[in-house]
Every structure is written in structure tokens, then in C-alpha cells.
Structure 1
Amino acid sequence: MSRGPWHVAVLMGGPSSEREVSLNSGKGVADALESRGHRVTRIDLDKDVALKLSAAQPDVVFNALHGVPGEDGTVQGMLDLMGLPYTHSGLVTSVIAIDKELTKQALVPHGIPMPVGKIVACETLYDGDPLPRPYVLKPVNEGSSMGVAIVRDDSNYGSPIARDAVGPWQLFPSLLAEPFIKGRELTVGVMGHEAMGVTELQVKSGFYDYDAKYTAGLTQHICPAQIPADIAERMKQLAVQAHALLGCKGVSRSDFRWDDEHGLDGIFLLEVNTQPGMTPLSLVPEQAAANGMDYAELVERIVEEALSLSESRSEVCQ
């Protein structure tokens, strides 16, 4: 596979709740590619995105979008129809991985441990708790811990939750309810079919929500995580297995909770992110750096795999 130079269209921004994160990811990716001598066209996703891509005629598209519609299969389907190679996972994988319930249906039968949850209509939350407290409420298809609430006995939401209490139940018609897994927050990046490492996320206050992820100083990243070797190895195995079962391409990131009082039985996969952030605070670039791979090399590796997969498909179709 040629190292280029390539013409890369970097898709970023868009209308999702994670727009600012995507713009930061896209800028980092575009700057890195330009620093390596590649031609870059930066495209902020809007209704004219197909026309802009057609005019640009790139060799490959770097999908730096986060959330809907860039991570749920919508953009992937458009790029497939246009015949443009693109980074990260394809249409089917994106549809499944963005949906936390579909992800469970795909992974749990293969032995991947995930919290047992259920979809609840938000209107029912005002009548009573769907699970014993503490429990977690989260949107089924949002990323970056958007709209997540932990309902505890001492929470100020009320018991049952009050209609005027501020929370995700005011924004979504239904939510996924899961038991709260106490313990430690960890994450594993996967590139190709190899785990990049295990990072522990220690939040200074509250939990690992959107602000904690993207505000400097609110969360300490410990990479590599200071955990027993068998726990780290098991998380790596589960992350690689989930990556393969879902059909992920390029880079994915699997998020875990670990109840350290229960050893290997305390590991639970929460979700698989098919398009991890590429901002200065993001976890995958940090794990790559711990393995001796700088940011620009990481970006090039992701683009290179997308081009290689495209060439392989073309050869099969000939």
C-alpha cells in the first residue's frame, strides 16, 4: 500500500450533540495529515456534503464525526453509494454499535459480559424506579456519555423521579436502564485486531460524563492502568473479541467498569465506540503514544487501512 501522498477529505462537525468534539478531532486529523505532506480538504457536515465530496474527489474520507448521523450508519451508507473509501467501521457495524441494546444482542450470546438492562419509557419513571437503586439511565444511541444519569438513594432527582428534575428523561422518550456497576472506569483501544492498551479514568468528582471527558483537568488518565495483569489481559481479550464480532474496522474503543472486589467476574463491557475521539484529550491517541506511535503516524495508519480494505474489495469484485 502506497504511503501517499493522498488526498484526504476530513469530515467533521455536523449537527450532532458532539459537534465541538468532532471539530476538534477533525482539526487534529487534518493538521496531522498536512504535516505529513498529504492534501486535505476539510468538510463540515451539512446538507450539501455529497456535493462537496463530489467536487473534492478525494482518495479517501477520514470520518471524524461523532454521534448521529456520522456514527450511526447514515454517513457510511452515503459514502458507500458514492463509492468513496472511508475510515473506521462500515454501515452495518455502525448501525449496531451506536445502539446499546443491539450491541448487547450481538455480543452477550458470545460470552461478552455486559450489564443486564432494559428499555423504559421515560413517562413511567415518574411512577417508580425501573430497577433497584443505584441504577444508570442513558440514551440508547448517543455517545460520549451524553445524557447519562446515575440514580442513587441520595440523589436530588426525588423518589420516584420528579417531573421537574433535570435529567435525560426530559430529552428522550425512552432510556436504557442498567444496574450501576461500582468500581473503576477503564477503556481499551483496538487497532486492526490488536489491543493498544488499558487506561484507567479517575474522575476528580462525579462520574465520567461529557464534561469529564472533554474538560482538561477533570479526569486523570492512568496509562497503562495500574491493575492486575490478568484483569488487563482479560479486558484486552474482550475488546478485541467485541471489535471482531461487531465487524469493526480501523480503530475502536471499548469502555469497561470493573468491580475490583470480584476479580475477573467483576469486569463488564459497557459499550464499543466505533469512532473514538481524536482530540488532544482523547484516549486512543494517548494509548498509541504509550506504544511509541505519535499522533500523525496513528492518523496515517488509520487512513492506510481504509485504503487497503478498499483495494482488497476492488480486487475481489474484478
Structure 2
Amino acid sequence: MSLQDPKQFGKVAVLFGGSSAEREISLLSGNGVLEALRSRGVDAHAFDPAERDLVELRREGFARCFIALHGRHGEDGTVQGALELLGIPYTGSGVMASSVAMDKVMTKRIWQADGLPTPKYVRLAFDQQSREQIRAVPDVLGLPLIVKPPREGSSIGVTKVEGYSQMQDAVALSAKYDADVLCEEFIEGEEVTCAVLGSGLDAHALPVVRIAAPEGAYDYQNKYFTDDVKYHCPSGLPEAEEHEIQRITLAAYHTLGCRGWGRADVMIRASDRKPFLLEMNTSPGMTSHSLVPMSARAAGIAYEDLCLRVLASASLDAAGGAQ
């Protein structure tokens, strides 16, 4: 679809806000997208699913949706399923890819099955969280390790555990957000992220962003509300490393069945420079601090044009991913 005539998109709903733990970030993302689309002449309107029923989208004649929701009930296949039933094309991955990518344990299982590198892990289901079971995790994964809810984003509920004595509190914090708890091998090294635009054979990886956080604390606060984190794009990595990260990111995207756009978080192990996939975001942030717009800029794509490209890719599963 051409990006020349904004009228071709019809009436567009930018879905943002929502009811997840990432609502605050979604509001920032959505307002950025809304302003960008309007600045390019798109008939775009704000729509917060936490305040309005999705059925109103059809009633009010919306032709497509830009999903700027993050986390549950936005990035996990539920909104995507509702829009499939309403017959309204939407941005990003379809129902299954969204649902799987939202669950870090399922994602890791699929990546492992396809031979893609991801850190070792232990899943503590809701009925596997006795003191003894929790205490045994470092014996399997070593220390330090990471404890996090498998179905949250934005570093919410995440703890870096340095010793056995921290395990109980770390699991308790994670369990506030998710009944299951994901314990993951800690990869000592550099954190990078790599975005993908497009679907099928047209999907391509954008330039890698290298993240330098104070004391390695790339947490919720530092991600969104401070300027202490430094982002490098171009990444400054050796060309072969950049290409390998782009290669495994694209493979991870295809393996999960993603489309439209996405962003993988990757750790590069310092000891041997091997990259490990952490997770795939199917509705990446679009705030002023966000990494996909930064990567797109390095590839010569302005923020407004990025929003138009993503909007142009809106489709339905029922249409076989084509629009």
C-alpha cells in the first residue's frame, strides 16, 4: 500500500491506555502515534479500551486500528481476537503470534525447538513455589540469575538475584504480577535490541541499538523516566556481530509467526560475544525514549513515516496476513 495518500486509510483508531500494568507507557506511546498520524493528514482518533467498549469501533465506522497498547489485553492476542471478530484490520502480529510472544516461557520453548539461542530457565508454576523448590533454582541456573513474571513487560516485577537469600522475595514480587514465575540464567554482557519491520519475505531487521544503563540497571524507571541510560545507534558493534543479531532476530520473528513490526531484546555474552534472545515485543513502545523509532531514524525513517508504515501494514489473520 502506498503511503502517499493518507485518506486511503479511512478513519483510524489509535488504541492506547488499556488496563495492563504498562498503561502509563501506553498512554505516552499512543499520544505520540496519534500526533504523528494526524500531522501526516490521517483521520486518526484516540481510543482507550479501558474506557470504551471495542464494539464502538465498528459502530463509529473505524476502518483500521493502530495498536499502541502494551502488556495484557493489548499485546497478548485478546484485542487482536476481538478485532478479528469485528473485521477491523489492525497493526502488528495476529492472535497466535501475539499470544505466544507475550508468554516468555512459551516463546523460549519455541526458540529452543528451532535451535535459536536463549538463556537457560526454570519455570516455577503456581503450585511449584515452596521454599525448597525456590531455593533449588540457583543450583540449576547458577548465580546471579533473573526472576521475572513471564507475561509482563517493561521490566515490571523483575529482580536480579545475587544470592540464595534473595530468591524468596524475588519470587514473591514476580508472583504479584503472574501466577507463574520465570527464573532465567543471567547473561553477563551488553544489552542490545533489534527491531523488525514488515511481514513474510518483506520483513527486514533495522539497525541494532546498544543499551548502556547505569550499573546495568535497565529497569522500569531508567527505561522511561530518566536520561541516565545511553543508547547507541549505530551500535558501534563489529559488523559481523550486528549482522548475527539481525539474523537471529529475524529468525525469531519468523519462528513466532510475527508480522507488521516487532522488537527483540538480546544479550551479548561478554565471555564469547554470543548473542542470546530474551524476548520478542509485538507492540513495541513508541515514546520519545523508545527504541524502534531510534533504530528507524538510523535507517533514515522519520518517526511520522514509521507510524505510517506500520499503519499501512494493518491486516487480519483471516486475510492471510495480506491487506
Q: TM-score, structure 1 length as denominator?
A: 0.90
Rounded Cα–Cα distance in structure 1 between residues aligned with 2:68 and 2:321: 24
- Superimposed CA distance per residue, residues 48-69 of structure 1 (whole angstroms, 9 cap, x where no aligned partner): 3223212321121000000001
- Of 169, 174, 178, which aligns to 1:168? 174
> How far off is 1:244 after superposition?
1.1
Instruction: Check the 8 A contact 2:84/2:317 in 1, yes or no.
Output: no
Task: Report the more deviating stretch, 203-212 or 290-299.
Answer: 203-212
Alignment of 1:72-87 (within 5 A): 72-87=76-91
1:34 maps onto 2:38 in alignment: yes
Q: TM-score, structure 2 length as denominator?
A: 0.89
Amino acid of the structure 2 residue aligned with 1:284: V
Task: Report the more deviating stretch, 116-125 or 205-214.
Answer: 116-125
Rounded Cα–Cα distance in structure 1 between residues aligned with 2:178 and 2:322: 45
Q: 1:27 to 1:99 in 2, by over 3 A?
A: same
Q: 1:287 to 1:144 in 2, by over 3 A?
A: same
Rounded Cα–Cα distance in structure 2 between residues aligned with 1:20 and 1:160: 29
Rounded Cα–Cα distance in structure 1 between residues aligned with 2:169 and 2:218: 25
Alignment of 1:10-49 (within 5 A): 10-46=14-50, 48-49=52-53
1:272 maps onto 2:280 in alignment: yes
Instruction: Check the 8 A contact 1:256/1:269 in 2, yes or no.
Output: yes
Q: 1:244 to 1:314 in 2, by over 3 A?
A: closer
1:182 maps onto 2:188 in alignment: yes
Q: 1:19 to 1:230 in 2, by over 3 A?
A: same
Residue in 1 that maps onto 2:297: 289
SS state of the match for residue 278, structure 1? Answer: coil
Residue in 2 that maps onto 1:66: 70
SS state of the match for residue 114, structure 1? Answer: coil
Residue in 1 that maps onto 2:6: 4
What 5-or-longer segments of structure 2 have no aligned partner?
none
Amino acid of the structure 1 residue aligned with 2:94: G
- The number of equivalent residue pairs is 309
Amino acid of the structure 2 residue aligned with 1:137: V
Residue in 1 that maps onto 2:314: 306
Rounded Cα–Cα distance in structure 2 between residues aligned with 1:178 and 1:314: 33
SS state of the match for residue 192, structure 2? Answer: strand
Alignment of 1:113-132 (within 5 A): 113-120=117-124, 121-124=128-131, 128-131=135-138, 132=142
Rounded Cα–Cα distance in structure 1 between residues aligned with 2:74 and 2:322: 28
Q: 1:165 to 1:11 in 2, by over 3 A?
A: closer
Rounded Cα–Cα distance in structure 2 between residues aligned with 1:119 and 1:165: 11
> How far off is 1:292 after superposition?
1.1
Rounded Cα–Cα distance in structure 2 between residues aligned with 1:107 and 1:59: 35
Q: 1:160 to 1:61 in 2, by over 3 A?
A: closer
Amino acid of the structure 2 residue aligned with 1:285: P
Amino acid of the structure 2 residue aligned with 1:43: F
Instruction: Check the 8 A contact 1:126/1:161 in 2, yes or no.
Output: no
Task: Report the more deviating stretch, 1-10 or 251-260.
Answer: 1-10
Query: Percent sequence identity over matched residues?
Result: 37
SS state of the match for residue 49, structure 1? Answer: coil
SS state of the match for residue 92, structure 1? Answer: helix
Task: Report the more deviating stretch, 46-55 or 298-307.
Answer: 46-55
1:207 maps onto 2:217 in alignment: yes
SS state of the match for residue 208, structure 2? Answer: strand
Q: 1:146 to 1:164 in 2, by over 3 A?
A: closer
> How far off is 1:259 after superposition?
1.2
